[in-house]
Amino acid sequence: MSRRDTMRDPCYSGILLEIGRKLHEADRLAVARGLALTHSNIRSLLVRAINEANGAQ
């Protein structure tokens, strides 16, 4: 499946939407606590989510 086809998949689109919502929520909570999320923090969270989705522990 090409990247273009993947973006048209409703399941994949839903997953991306949910990831975006979680990132927004995490950023909002961080700001409320006087913290700032960096690209490194976000990358770490995404890698962890991908690994869990793939069944890694």
Q: Domain limits of the chain? A: 3-53
Q: What local confidence, expressed as pLDDT, does residue 34 receive?
A: 93
Over residues 20-50, the pLDDT tens digits come to 888 888 889 989 999 887 888 788 877 887 7
Residue 23 to residue 54: CA distance in whole angstroms:
20
Q: Which residue has the higher pLDDT, 56 or 52?
A: 52
Helix axes 39-53, 10-32, angle to 10 degrees: 140
Q: Evaluate whether 29 touches 36 at the Cβ level (below 8 Å).
A: no
Mean pLDDT of all residues belonging to the chain = 79
